[in-house]
Structure 1
Amino acid sequence: MEKTGALSSFTRINKLQEMAQQRLDLLVRGGGITGAGLALDASSRGLTVGLVEKQDFAAGTSSRSTKLIHGGLRYLKQGELQLVKEVGRERAILYRNAPHIVILEKMLLPIVTNGTYGKLATSFALWLYDRLAGVKKEERRVMLSKQATEKQEPLLRKDILKGSGLYIEYRTDDARLVIEVIKTAAAYGALCANYAEATRFIYQDQKAIGVVVTELLSQTEYQIFARKIVNAAGPWVDQL
């Protein structure tokens, strides 16, 4: 599909009007990373897509993350080996596609006296993590001695420090990542509008066939119909 759309504050009302003048294939309520990803996936496949967000894009949960792209080490501790592999693949795709906002971040895991894991267990865990996640050879974990660890992080307690594992995670600006995804969805033709609140469903034969959307700056209501409706509002999903 040829990329013809654009995300602009000057065309918000036009986008809402355009949504209201047709029956969309998909209407997404929620402009966080889930809604943005749905809009991009569907629009890139040639579907007509609308997305409405009652605040600014990424104003909710998607701007309040740890800023890590799938910090998967916790999944390894929980024994979720398949999940570690999955998030590693997803992380690699993001790193390849958006290197300007997905940045390598060195992480130091100290090994201390009477800690949860000793040097051998930590070394094996990080080795397994790197391979399950598909980490490139030059970015795989390095085990450090006590002296090398103190050089990396002088403020660690020296009386209990035994060494550390140095490994790689990836950080991002989560809100900017959402905006990048929505911009790409808009380039594929998705109609995206913020400060547009979905206030109630429109029903026909007990089936939701559309949504009443209020443009919050002017309090204008629009009736938007769609073959499929996805409620991707995160913590606010039950409010509609």
Structure 2
Amino acid sequence: MGRQARTASWSGIGRLGVVDREDAWQRLGKESFDLVVIGGGVVGAGTALDAATRGLRVALVEARDLASGTSSRSSKLVHGGLRYLEQLEFSLVREALAERELMLTKLAPHLVKPVSFLYPLTHRVWERPYTAAGLFLYDTMGGARSVPGQKHLTRAGALRMVPALRRDSLVGGIRYYDAQVDDSRYTMMLARTAARYGAVVRTSTQVVDFLHEADRVSGVRVRDVEDGREVEVLAGAVVNCTGVWTDELQQLSGSRGRFRVRASKGVHVVVPRDRIVSESGMILRTESSVLFVIPWGNHWILGTTDSDWRLDLAHPAATKQDIDYILGEINAVLATPLTHDDIEGVYAGLRPLLAGESEETSKLSREHAVARVAPGLVAIAGGKYTTYRVMAADAVNAAAIDLPTRVQPSITDKVQLLGADGYHALVNQADRLAAQYGLHPYRLRHLLDRYGALVHELLALAENEPEWLRPLEHAPDYLRVEVAYAVSHEGALHLEDVLARRTRIAIECPHRGVDCARQVAEIMAGILGWSGKTTEREVETYVARVAAERDSQSQPDDEAADASRRVAPDVRPHLDALDVGTQR
């Protein structure tokens, strides 16, 4: 086979485009799998990658979109969990720091970046040595392996780093480093990498029942929520990676669960970068937890809250009380307070915490648990985004008991995500590449930090559509070709998938994506073959979603906010309206 033929045969590997969906559907019905993974969040995608790279036949099904739940609504941090040191969870911190190091340096340097934080000191004498001791432990456990260690600052030095702070709000400060990530893009790249190694990955595919053979689970029945078709998928074992839906899927399977999951709501607010003059992020102590001020491109992410949520798991809603709490905590230290008018975006996510004795969700452990709840069925829950890879390995190890062949050890600590290989060289060549494609070098670097070495694949789509290299109207941080690529390679099926997850327009623009919705929908329509009626419905559904979210954010409590959010219709027409059977 010649070089050109070999290249052609490898092109599109790991692609999750609309042209691949029918093939994936046929494979679900015709093939027998070693493992079926339910849930397209970071743990589900990580489990699919772990299993596929061990040589197993794997299918991953997700009822909505990749990262459509918790895994797109985090604090966007990859961190060791500094505050867990106070809870004496040393093993969790050490494990998380090791994973952070892998993600930063090897697995996904194009997606995971170092980020600095200032910890303002507010008490003289005792607080600096106390905090320094904790940060010293953090650094020596792996926190300063590839990022700078702690740096102590006087009050003047801290104010030079963060001029936005009130002078009387601190007596000094300590700077330390962690890392950040675009959580939804990382999850999507995980899923694409799993597909690259042979996994069948299919979104808009809801588990509606479990198959049984004697006393064991032997597979699942799934529904295509776009057209209503159903098919049975046979498997040696099924892994429930559905996060806050773990208990609901457990109920659907007919098996008794080994643990319970509590949903803890975390709300974040996004404001423009110029509203807080600072060279660094911040971590502020609150009465119950901590508040992060996280740099995010031309924005700041402020959060988070931590409260029980017992309402709609698919669409957790932020209340006015949540937003007021965040603004109140940050305004207590800012020289120029923030107002509601400064807010560009708001999002709420649910942490899947293992239920414990404490009534305070902020004190529930972030450890994860894995259980073989029935022959052929494994459930995993708890944990945190940073340790997804460890969770995935544990899940596959637990499922291996039900497989007839010997399962190889996990190797995902050696498997780079798509886009990582060659990334550093491309960064060094950014100016030349920018000239080659007629882009500003800043724009090219921005693309490299979203696509890595796949940037050539992205820009190749614009060869016959030079107009696609222009920015979107009303969302100039993104090029039109990124919308096309989201559909052709990244599995986006609906307008919401692009505006809320493949890009972050839904939280980064004051209009929340409404002003550019029609332009984005028209680009998608040309690739997905939408009719004018379908295009109009996508725009109307998205506008209704944003309106419902805005209304929920003006409500005084969870019940009222939930009622407001539920008004918006679901864009996937055949999705079960019940929480049972839905996945994050």
1:1-240 pair list within 5 angstroms: 6-96=15-105, 97-113=107-123, 118-136=127-145, 139-237=148-246, 238=248, 239-240=580-581
**DSSP 3-state at the match of 1:40:** helix
Q: CA deviation at 1:114?
A: 7.0
Q: CA deviation at 1:71?
A: 4.5
How many residue pairs get matched?
A: 237
**DSSP 3-state at the match of 2:92:** helix
**DSSP 3-state at the match of 2:194:** helix
Q: CA deviation at 1:70?
A: 2.6
**DSSP 3-state at the match of 1:100:** coil
Distance 1:119 1:234 in 2: 38
Change (3 A) 1:228 1:144: same
Overall identity of the aligned pairs, in %: 37
**DSSP 3-state at the match of 1:133:** helix
Which 10-residue stretch deviates more, 136-145 or 44-53? 136-145
Q: CA deviation at 1:208?
A: 1.4
Q: Is the 8 A contact 1:7 1:187 kept in 2?
A: no
Q: CA deviation at 1:178?
A: 0.4
Amino acid at match of 1:111: L
Q: Is the 8 A contact 1:112 1:118 kept in 2?
A: yes
**DSSP 3-state at the match of 1:113:** coil
Distance 2:159 2:197 in 1: 50
- Which protein has greater RCO, CA pairs closer than 8 Å, 6+ apart? 1
**DSSP 3-state at the match of 1:166:** strand
Change (3 A) 1:192 1:160: closer
**DSSP 3-state at the match of 2:78:** coil
| TM-score where L is the length of structure 2 | 0.39
Q: Is the 8 A contact 2:124 2:171 kept in 1?
A: no
**DSSP 3-state at the match of 1:159:** helix
Q: Is the 8 A contact 2:114 2:147 kept in 1?
A: no
Q: CA deviation at 1:161?
A: 1.8
Change (3 A) 1:57 1:160: closer
Which 10-residue stretch deviates more, 187-196 or 62-71? 62-71
Q: Is the 8 A contact 1:196 1:214 kept in 2?
A: yes
**Which runs of structure 1 show a deviation greater than 3 angstroms over 4 or more consecutive aligned residues?**
3-6
Q: Is the 8 A contact 1:53 1:196 kept in 2?
A: yes
Q: Is the 8 A contact 1:5 1:186 kept in 2?
A: yes
Amino acid at match of 2:30: Q
Change (3 A) 1:58 1:138: closer
Distance 1:160 1:234 in 2: 39
Distance 1:219 1:163 in 2: 60
Distance 1:54 1:105 in 2: 33
Which 10-residue stretch deviates more, 145-154 or 131-140? 131-140
**DSSP 3-state at the match of 2:171:** strand
Which 10-residue stretch deviates more, 29-38 or 138-147? 138-147
Amino acid at match of 2:112: V
Distance 2:169 2:25 in 1: 61
Q: CA deviation at 1:8?
A: 2.2
Distance 1:160 1:50 in 2: 53
Unaligned runs of 5+ in 2: 1-9, 249-579
Which 10-residue stretch deviates more, 4-13 or 160-169? 4-13
**DSSP 3-state at the match of 2:77:** coil
